[in-house]
Amino acid sequence: MTIAYLRQFKVSGYAVFDFAAAFLGVAALSPLLSGLARRAGWQVPRINWLYLTLPGGVAAHVASGNITPMTRDFLSPGGHYGLKALILALSVLGLRNIRKSGGPGVKTAGL
């Protein structure tokens, strides 16, 4: 099996393999990411990283100049309102419940 074969399966024009790889990668890295955030003084629940996967991916692709079909659709001024609503909703869900902790290395009760 090649990547081209895996990427041929699409939903709404987007490769299912790309979504699966992104979400599985973030799910695997979320404990590390939450730990790094904790060291920086933030409490970020692991589920929030999953919510931020697509918005972060769009932002990273815009920042790097790598315009993928989803990035192109998100940036297009007309149409694709469902995608824009989804990215906005995931951004809101991803930024909810993020709290400033007592500071780097500070242990708080119940954590």
Instruction: For 55-100, write each residue's pLDDT tens digit.
Output: 999 999 999 999 999 999 999 999 999 999 999 999 999 999 999 9
Residue 3 lies in a domain: no
Residue 1 lies in a domain: no
Residue 105 lies in a domain: no
Domain count, the chain: 1
Residue 108 lies in a domain: no
Report pLDDT digits (tens) over 16-56. Answer: 999 999 999 999 999 999 999 999 999 999 999 999 999 99
Q: How many residues in the chain? A: 111
Residue 28 lies in a domain: yes
Residue 109 lies in a domain: no
Q: Smallest Cα–Cα separation from 76: which of 89, 90, 62? A: 62
Using DSSP, how many helices (H) and how many strands (E) does the chain show?
Answer: 6, 4
Residue 25 lies in a domain: yes
CB-CB contact of 58 with 71 (8 Å): yes
Residue 64 lies in a domain: yes
Query: Which residues are paired to 99 by β-bridges?
Result: 43
What Rg, from alpha-carbon coordinates, does the chain have? 17
43 lies in which domain range? 9-98
Position 109 pLDDT exceeds 90:
no
